[in-house]
Amino acid sequence: MTASAHDIDSERAAGADPGRWFTPGPPAAGADVLLFCLPFAGGGAAVYRRWTGPRWAGIAVDPVLLPGRESRIGEPPDFTVDRVATALAGRIDRPYAVYGHSMGARLGFEVVRELRRRALPPPLALYVAASRPPDVPPAASDLVGADVRHRVAALGTDLDGALEHPELRELLLPALRSDFAWVDAYRYHPGPPLDVPLIALAGEEDPGVRPPAMAGWSRHTTATFQLHTLPGGHLFLRTAAEETTRLVAGELRTLAGLDGDW
């Protein structure tokens, strides 16, 4: 199923053709499953382009290109759940799953809820990583509205070094400010739990989201729930890339019924 003509026209009217939300060209034609990947605050699609190799056989990793970064650096960096959902809807032509890291986890959750409202096929799984459950409001210590560099450093990510370089800082700050503003403005609106397997991933040393806090994601599905703890901090998908990709690809292969032990 694809997005309606009205949705696509609305996207184009907003200056964001749905095709621009992904790398050029269609996903791998021979893949059985799509895996849409949503970034952390200030992040781009590049980190997911490393998710390649034999264990991904049959799976097309399809990172979402949010505006204001990478090939869309010249665009305003703001986005909405509706626009991201429309981009995904126009791409769904086979079974799929959604992975979101930190900000991307809540964004992915809301996108899947929006796809449900549009009566589109549900994903095989929703992976949520390094993010509090959506119904848990931010604590005072979450630095809402604080200086961007302070917030990045508090999360223990590896972006704070990049912000010390003027050229990189000029490129990164607009997207970071916009993304943190989206995170700060996010409010959960109660609704029926998803009928989708929900797989939560937590970093053992994540200073912002301890593994026990992520257990609350179980409230948001009537299907199976799993919580996995991985070595590393907030961006364990980079520092523990091997463990992360083995887990994500392995779970998805099982859910999709793909053969082979990778």
Dist CA 178 CA 211 (whole Å): 27
**Residue burial 225-239, b: 16+ Cβ < 10 Å; e: rest:** eebbbbebbbbbbbb
Dist CA 197 CA 62 (whole Å): 20
Catalytic residue among 102, 131, 178, 218: 102
Residue 22 is encoded by which pair of tokens? 């992904």
Beta strands in the chain (DSSP E): 33-38, 59-63, 96-101, 126-129, 198-203, 225-230
Residue 139 is encoded by which pair of tokens? 């604590």
Half-sphere CA count of 121, side-chain side, radius 13 A: 16
- Collapsing DSSP to helix, strand or coil, 226 comes out as strand
Cβ proximity of 89 and 6 under 8 Å: no
| 102 classed as catalytic | yes
Q: Give phi and psi for 59, each to the nearest 5.
A: -120, 125
| Active site residue ranges | 102
